[in-house]
Amino acid sequence: MTDLATALTAVYGPEIQPQIRRYQAGLAAFRERFGPGPVTVFRAPGRVNLIGEHTDYNDGYVLPLALDKDVLLFARPRPDSTIHLHNLEPRFPPRAFPLATAIPPAPAGDWSNYVRGAAQELARRLGLELPGLDVLVDGRPPHGVPRGAGLSSSSALTVASAVALAYFGGWRWDGDTMAQLCSQAEWYVGTRGGIMDQYIALQARRDHALFLDCRPLPGGSFRSRPVPLPPGHRLLVVDSGVRHQNTRNEFNRRVAACRAGVALLRRAHPGIGHLRDVEAVDWSRLEPLLPEVITPAELQALGHPLEDLPNVPPDAPLRVRACCRHVWHENRRVLATVAALERGEMAEVGRLLREAHASGRDDYQVTTPELDTLVALAMEVEGVVGARFTGAGWGGCIVVLVRLEAVAQFLATVPERYRAQTGRSATVFPCRAGPGAGLVGTF
C-alpha cells in the first residue's frame, strides 16, 4: 500500500490538498461500484504543443509539454478476462468488453474505443496474459484534461489504459516503445495521427517542454531533449470554447495531402519516404513540383494509390502544395524556436509562434475565426511574446507565451474582448509543465 500524500506530492508538488480530495473521491466511488479492497491508480496528462503542428505524422519536429491536468484511471484485476469500464461522468456510460487480439469497436465516438484500442494493441504486440480489469475513469474538471479542446484528452485515456494493462500484465515498458504502441492504438478510432501526444504524455519532464524528433531511429527509439521553459514568463492556454465535429475526416485529408506530396516529389527525389527527407532542399525548388490540388483518384491514375486512410473519398480535393509548404516551414520553425529559447531570444520565439499560426490558418487551413480572434487579441496585450493555435485545430485552444508581469493584464482584457467580439466565453488557465504518465500507487 502507498501513502496517498507522499505519492501525490511526488506527482503534483507541494499543493496537494485538492488532489487528495480528488483521489479519495475516486477511490470511494471505485469501491462503491466494485467492492472493498486495494485499488491501483494510474494517471496520464494532457498536453499543449508550443510549436510544430501537423509535423509528427510527417516524421518531423515538435515541441510539446505536459499539462498539470490529467486523466485518472482506478483499476483492480478481475478473475475473468473482461474489462469493465465506469466513468465518473454520466455522459460516458458503463461499458464492458472481452480482452482479445481483435476487439470489436463500439460505435464511432464511443469513449470506450480509446481503452479498446489500447487493450487490443497490448494483447497483439506483447502477447501478454492480460488479466481482466475493473476500471473507473475520472477526467472531470477542473483537474481533468478538457475534452475536445485539442489538449489530447483522448491520448491521455489511451496512455493511462495501456500503462494500467501493462502493469497488471507484468510488462516493464520503456517510454519509446510504449509511445509507439499507444500511437498505434489510437489508429483504432480512425485518425492517422503521429506520435507527439502519446510521447509527451509518457515522457514529459516537469517545467520543461520536450523537443522531439518524430523520425524513429534505426532501433525504433526517438531522439528527444528537454527544453527549459523561459524564466520570467508564463504559458497560458486559452480555450476558445469552439468544438468541431467530424474533424477526423478533415484530419485524414491533411495526412493524405502530405502523403500525396511525398509521392509526387519522389519523381524528382527518388526514395524519399516523408517530407522530412527533403528538409535540406530549398522550398523554392520543391514547390513547382507540386500541384495546387489533386484528388486521390487522380493520384491513383498516376500510380500512387493512397492506402489505409479512412474517410478520404476518391474525389476529395487535396491541397498538396499548401499543406506541404506548411509542413516544410513548420519543421524549420521548430528548430529555430528551440535555438531561440535556448539563447533566450524571446522576440524571435514570438515571431516564430505568430508565423506558425498564420501558416496553420492560411496554408494548412485548420484554424477557426475564433482562434484567429483570440490570437489577435492576445497579441494586443503588451508583454505577450507570441500566441498560436495549439493541437490539431478546428476549434480548441491557443497557447500564449507572456511575460509574468503581463499576466494580470491579459486576464483582465482578453476574455472580455473575446466575448464582445464573438459572444463566446474563453477559459484561460496557466500551464505548469507537469511530469509524464505512470503508476501513482495502490491504496
- Binding site residues, ligand GLA, CB under 6 A: 53-54, 56-57, 152, 193-194, 196-197, 391-392
Quote the least distance from Cβ 114 to ligand GLA, whole Å. 12
Q: Which of 43, 192 has the CB closer to ligand GLA?
A: 192
Contact call for residues 377 and 418 (beta carbons, < 8 A) = yes
Minimum CB distance to ligand GLA smaller for 64 or for 169 = 64
Q: How far is the CB of 343 from ligand GLA (least distance, A)?
A: 25
Distance between CA atoms of residues 145 and 157, nearest Å: 10
Q: Concatenate the DSSP letters of all residues of 92-153 into one string.
A: S--EEEE--SSPPPPSTT-THHHHHHHHHHHHHHH---PPEEEEEEE--TTTSPPTTSSS-H
Closest distance to ligand GLA from the beta carbon of 145 (Å): 12
282 given a catalytic annotation: no
Nearer to ligand GLA by Cβ, of 324 and 414: the residue is 324
Provide, rounded to whole angstroms, the least separation between the CB of residue 45 and ligand GLA: 14
Full DSSP string of 261-299: HHHHHTTTSTT--SGGGGTTS-HHHHGGGS-S-B-HHHH
- Closer CB to ligand GLA, 136 or 322, in the complex: 322
Catalytic residue (one of 59, 138, 197, 213): 197
> For residue 142, is the peptide bond before it cis, meaning its omega torsion is within 30 degrees of 0?
yes
Listed in sequence order, the residues at least 6 apart from 357 whose beta carbon sits closer than 8 Å to its beta carbon are 367, 372, 375, 387, 388, 389, 398
Which residue is closest to ligand GLA by CB?
193
Please say which residue, 34 or 57, places its beta carbon nearer to ligand GLA: 57
- What is the spatial distance between Cα 364 and Cα 320, in angstroms, rounded to a whole number? 10
* Min separation Cβ 54 and ligand GLA, Å: 5
* CB closer to ligand GLA, 194 vs 230: 194
Give me the amino acid identity at 422.
T
Return all residues near 20 (Cβ < 8 A) that are at least 6 apart. 4, 5, 8
Q: Where are the alpha helices (DSSP H) in 344-425?
A: 346-362, 369-380, 407-422
Q: List the one residue out of 157, 152, 198 whose CA is nearest residue 178.
A: 198
Sheet holding 233-243, edge to edge: 384-390, 395-403, 233-243, 427-431
* Smallest separation (angstroms) from ligand GLA to the CB of 340: 20
Catalytic site positions: 197
